């Protein structure tokens, strides 16, 4: 180091003397020591392979699980199998699927009934409101009567006058209506309001009929389809159960026998499966000579003999077994197969009954509504036709009679008003005089007068109480009118909530049924299988993992000393050692800017993504790889590493640079170094010449040089 510093000082002194001798002008040539040369500062790119310590992963991986609890039926795949999107991988057993289908059918029936109830509430039904309004009207009349009676007792004259005035007003209205009706009928037509009401009633009835037809057709189509599916399932279940009898026993079972539990049926037949299917049973231990048929047994001896003597896997047959007993994949338990098939047969029968009952109710209800709507259309159509055809002679005479009565009522009301205004007639005056004389004659009986006064007071008090009661009843009736509308609204809300709840249940059951069969979500490879036939699983059980091997990633870390070379989008090379050293090109997809420290080593997380070319298969269990990122810094100032010196530890690095004919010592800030070149962050400019010790470095050894002004 001392020799190097001394040489540098001597060189600086010589250069200084030359500069002084030349008057400070730039020197075209310099006498450099042996092995020294001037190299320009260049703008270029510095590339470096950055190793990644990581592991290979498949980013597109899906774990398949069942939507509900159940027993595994068929497992149709194995680890390493290549699958296509939609391929069936694992299913529930047939009994579990049948139960899911039954639950879905029941849920759909409940939804249909809830929709039917909701539709009934949506169809306008003014009967309840009309009844409440009628009750309110009656209560109003009763209240008016009670009030009139009270007013009559308190002020009879006032009541009489009001009564006759009201009678005249009513008579005038009735007369006006009667005259209009008579004129319309005499001219050959009904009043406009009657025609309008009849037309509206007919139009509304037609609308109701159209809605009822749609409801009926929809219900019939939906339920007939469900009934067809249920019948097909029931037929399949029955045929499968029959096949089991033929398969094991050679029996054509009757319908009555199919309805019995297998154990009860075999007991009635005298069939002991363990004894019958025992090769030591003398009835069937006949070697290659078929056993003779026994008319006393329900099963065929030939079929049992064939199982016992000819079936290669005879030792895997069990007559009976415990429900909790685990059997291998090759072992067959006859009793368990009969029990399972009977349960399946029973389940599809129950489903058929449920669907049949639901179809009958839903279609019947829709048919009743349709019939009622048709009858209503016919009735309103007849009424409207009668009105549009015009009145007949009898209706005109009836209107004329009504007009005459209205005139008579008006005259009578006017006469009553005159009598009230005149107060009394002469006859009434005479009768009043006689009553007065009789009253004076009874002046000696004050008790009677007091009694009469008391009776009058009691009558007034009673009338007041009756009026108060009638007004309370009127208020209650009006509240009932509002209550009926509110009750209907609440019923409608409840029905809508019931439909929503039923729909949610159906959606969940549909998901459960669909989730009873696991399909491949995309084209890929089965990486993991965690189920076997007859395994009990639930919705949290991990069943199958499927990966897409067309895209792989290397997830690892890069040493902190190299992180400056790594950017997102940089190229990388991944070597697969298990595939004869296959090298695939990838791209840096992620670079963390948060450092991590482990065992004193600082590193940064990176992810390299590789698109696997067609025709190359990456095994899902592959582990042996190596990865290198092509790190690159572009457009940076570069000088040979030999041009940089550090005089003592802790001091900044320096270079000798030629400026204005003199070589000066310049402090610099350096960056990364690679292949003999170092990045200069500050202190130098492009094109300046620096002194390099050692003759091995030349401009021809520069790295990838580019950018403006590159030397």
Q: What does the pLDDT look like over 653-664, one tens digit per residue?
A: 999 998 888 889
The pLDDT value recorded for residue 516 is 86
Would you tell me how many other CB atoms lie within 10 Å of the CB of residue 657?
A: 22
Q: Which residue in 609, 602, 562 sits closest to 46, CA to CA?
A: 562
The pLDDT value recorded for residue 232 is 94
The pLDDT value recorded for residue 15 is 38
Local structure of residue 645 (DSSP, 8 states): B
Q: CA-to-CA distance for 669 and 647, rounded, in angstroms?
A: 15
Task: Give the global pTM.
Answer: 0.38
Contact 40, 637 (CB under 8 A): no
Q: CA-to-CA distance for 347 and 58, rounded, in angstroms?
A: 43
SS3 string, 313-371, reads CHHHEECCCCCCCCCCCCCEEHHHHHHHHHHHHHHHHHHHHHHHHHHHHHHHHHHHHHH
- The DSSP code sequence of 19-87 is HHHTTTPPPS---PPTTEEEEE-EEEEEEEEEEEEEEEE-SSEEEE--SS-EEEEEE---TT-EE-TT-
**Longest distance between any two alpha carbons in the chain, whole Å:** 172
Q: Which residue in 119, 134, 317, 123 sits closest to 218, CA to CA?
A: 119
Domains of the chain in start order, with CATH, are 2-50+633-701 (2.40.420.20), 124-189+390-499 (no CATH), 221-335 (no CATH)
Q: CA-to-CA distance for 82 and 650, rounded, in angstroms?
A: 61
Residue 456 is encoded by which pair of tokens? 């009058």
Local structure of residue 539 (DSSP, 8 states): T
Cα dihedral 455, 460, 461, 467 sign: positive
Residue with tokens 């006689």: 434
pLDDT tens across 313-371, in order? 888 899 999 877 787 778 899 999 999 999 999 999 999 999 999 999 999 999 999 99
Give the DSSP H/E element, type plus range, for residue 295. Answer: none
Q: CA-to-CA distance for 690 and 663, rounded, in angstroms?
A: 8
Positions of the chain with pLDDT lower than 70, given as ranges: 1-31, 123-129, 150-165, 176, 178-190, 390, 392-397, 399-400, 402-403, 413-462, 465, 481, 483-488, 622-623, 631, 694-711
Residue 693 is encoded by which pair of tokens? 């010790």
């Amino acid at each position: 180091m001392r020799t190097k510093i001394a040489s540098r000082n001597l060189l600086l002194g010589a250069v200084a003397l030359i500069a002084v001798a030349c008057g400070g002008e730039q020197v075209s040539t310099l006498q450099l020591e042996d092995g020294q040369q001037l190299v320009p500062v260049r703008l270029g790119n510095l590339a470096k392979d950055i190793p990644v310590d990581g592991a290979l992963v498949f980013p597109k991986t899906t774990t398949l699980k069942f939507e509900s609890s159940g027993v595994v039926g068929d497992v149709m795949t194995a680890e390493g199998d290549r699958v296509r999107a939609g391929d069936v991988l694992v299913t529930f057993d047939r009994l579990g699927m049948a139960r899911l289908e039954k639950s879905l059918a029941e849920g759909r029936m409940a939804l249909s009934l809830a929709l039917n109830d909701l539709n009934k509430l949506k169809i306008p039904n003014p009967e309840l409101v009309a009844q409440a309004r009628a009750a309110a009207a009656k209560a109003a009349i009763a209240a008016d009567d009670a009030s009139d009676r009270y007013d009559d007792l308190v002020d009879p004259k006032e009541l009489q006058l009001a009564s006759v005035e009201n009678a005249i007003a009513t008579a005038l209205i009735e007369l006006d209506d009667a005259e209009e009706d008579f004129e319309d009928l005499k001219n050959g037509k009904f009043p406009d309001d009657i025609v309008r009401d009849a037309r509206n009633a007919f139009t509304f009835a037609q609308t109701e009929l159209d809605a009822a037809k749609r409801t009926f057709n929809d219900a019939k189509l939906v339920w007939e389809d469900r009934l067809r599916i249920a019948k097909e399932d029931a037929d399949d279940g029955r045929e499968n159960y029959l096949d089991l009898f033929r398969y094991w026993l050679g029996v054509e079972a009757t319908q009555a026998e199919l309805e019995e539990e297998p154990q009860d049926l075999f007991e009635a037949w005298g069939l002991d499966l363990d004894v019958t299917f025992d090769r030591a049973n003398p009835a069937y231990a006949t070697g290659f000579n078929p056993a003779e048929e026994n008319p006393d047994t329900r099963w065929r001896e030939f079929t049992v003999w064939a199982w016992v003597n000819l079936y290669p896997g005879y030792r895997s047959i069990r007559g009976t077994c415990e429900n909790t007993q685990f059997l291998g994949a090759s072992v067959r338990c006859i009793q368990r197969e009969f029990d399972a098939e009977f349960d399946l047969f029973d389940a599809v029968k129950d489903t058929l009954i449920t669907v049949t009952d639901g179809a009958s109710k839903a279609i019947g209800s829709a048919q009743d509504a349709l019939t009622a709507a048709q009858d209503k259309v016919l009735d309103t159509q007849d009424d409207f036709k009668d009105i549009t055809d015009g009145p007949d002679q009898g209706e005109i005479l009836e209107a004329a009679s009504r007009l005459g009565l209205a005139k008579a009522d008006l005259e009578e009301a006017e006469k009553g008003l005159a009598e009230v205004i005149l107060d009394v007639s002469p006859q009434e005056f005479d009768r009043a005089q006689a009553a007065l004389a009789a009253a004076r004659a009874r002046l000696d009986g004050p008790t009677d007068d007091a009694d009469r006064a008391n009776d009058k007071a009691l009558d007034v008090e009673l009338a007041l109480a009756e009026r108060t009661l009638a007004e309370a009843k009127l208020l209650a009736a009006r509240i009932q009118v509002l209550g009926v509308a509110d009750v209907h609204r609440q019923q409608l809300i409840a029905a809508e909530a019931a439909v929503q709840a039923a729909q949610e249940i159906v959606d969940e059951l549909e998901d459960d049924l669909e989730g009873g069969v696991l399909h491949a979500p995309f084209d890929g490879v089965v990486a993991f299988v965690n189920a076997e036939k007859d395994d009990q699983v639930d919705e949290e059980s991990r069943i199958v993992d499927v990966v897409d091997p067309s895209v792989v990633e290397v997830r690892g870390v890069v040493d902190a000393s190299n992180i400056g070379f790594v950017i997102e989008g940089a190229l990388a090379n991944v070597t697969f050692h298990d595939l004869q050293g296959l090298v695939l090109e990838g791209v840096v997809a992620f670079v963390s800017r948060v450092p991590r420290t482990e065992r004193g080593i600082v590193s940064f997380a990176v992810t390299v993504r590789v698109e696997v070319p067609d025709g190359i298969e990456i095994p899902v269990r592959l582990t042996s790889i190596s990865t290198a990122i092509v790190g690159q810094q572009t457009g940076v100032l570069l000088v040979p590493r030999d041009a940089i010196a550090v005089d003592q530890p802790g001091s900044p690095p320096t270079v000798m640079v030629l400026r204005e004919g003199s070589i000066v010592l310049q402090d610099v800030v350096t960056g990364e170094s690679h292949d003999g070149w170092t990045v200069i962050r500050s202190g130098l400019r492009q094109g300046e010449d620096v002194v390099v010790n050692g003759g091995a470095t030349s401009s021809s050894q520069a790295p990838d040089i580019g950018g403006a002004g590159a030397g």
